[in-house]
Each structure stands twice: as structure tokens, then as C-alpha cells.
Amino acid sequence: MKFEKLSTEMVFRTQTYKVTKENIYKFALEFDPQFMHVDEHKAKKTIFNSIIASGLHTLSISWKLWVELDLIGEDVIGGVGMENVKFIAPVFPEDELRVEVQIIEKREHPKKHDRGYFTIVLKTYNQNSKLVLTMEVLGLVKRNTTLVN
């Protein structure tokens, strides 16, 4: 989807992703090996009473679900930045996550007329519709150059 087709009124809903104990361990062992993610015995003594997914894991799952919608497709140039990332609630083994994505802003590139910026807000929910993560992402997308020139 090129820049011209993006609208701030657009809201998208992803498929779901079931978080397993195994993928919590696998992600955490490689990228965030804190005890609450990898040591079930110690994690049972925390306020969560269980292992929980790393916030970075939850963020990665959320991003995967958005990308799998394939709405921007090959028109995407790349991500520019992330802001206001908030880990609101823990994600437990067997939680089923889904994401709602809204385009909140789009603006032309000030110098390069073949591209434009867009900002999306991702809100990730569990199976109980409890909000677990929010974040804003700034992306860069191709413009329809036949309309620009």
C-alpha cells in the first residue's frame, strides 16, 4: 500500500498468536535471560506467580502479527523509530495475543518526493481483551511517483 492510500481513519486487526512456555524460554534464553522468564521455580516467588514473557518478546510478537497482515507489502522502505513503548500487563504461557493497529499520522518527506512517513499505534491484547502493550512506530513508505511528478 503506497503512501497515498494510507488514511488516519484506518484500523487493522491481526490474527492471534498463542504464547507457549517453550517459546518464552527460547526467546528469553537468547535475548533476555532474566529469571522471571527462564527459571520457573524463582518466577513462582514473584508477584506474577509464574514465568512471564519478556516485554521485548511481546513487542516482537506484536510486530510479527502486524507485518503478517502484509498491508504495506513491498512499498515499505523501512522503520524509522519507535516511541512510547509501554509494557502494561504481563504475558503468561498460553496467553493468546492479538493486535489492533491504527494509522495516526502521515506526512510527506520534506526533501524526497518519492516517499512519505506514517505513524501507527499498535495495541496488543490478550485473550481476555486485556491491554498488555502499546507502542508507536514511525515508518517510511514509497509514494506513487506517477502522481508526484
Q: Does residue 86 have a pLDDT over 70?
A: yes
Which cell is 59 given? 513487542
H or E element in which residue 11 lies: strand 11-13
pLDDT at 137: 96
Judged on CB neighbours under 10 Å (0-12, 13-18, 19+), 75 is middle
Cα–Cα distance for residue pair 50/30, rounded to 1 Å: 19
User: pTM for the full model?
Assistant: 0.91
Q: Give which of 135, 139, 131, 129 is closest to 56, Cα–Cα.
A: 135
Sign of the torsion formed by the C-alpha atoms of 44, 88, 9 and 76: negative
Confidence of residue 146 (pLDDT cuts 50, 70, 90): low
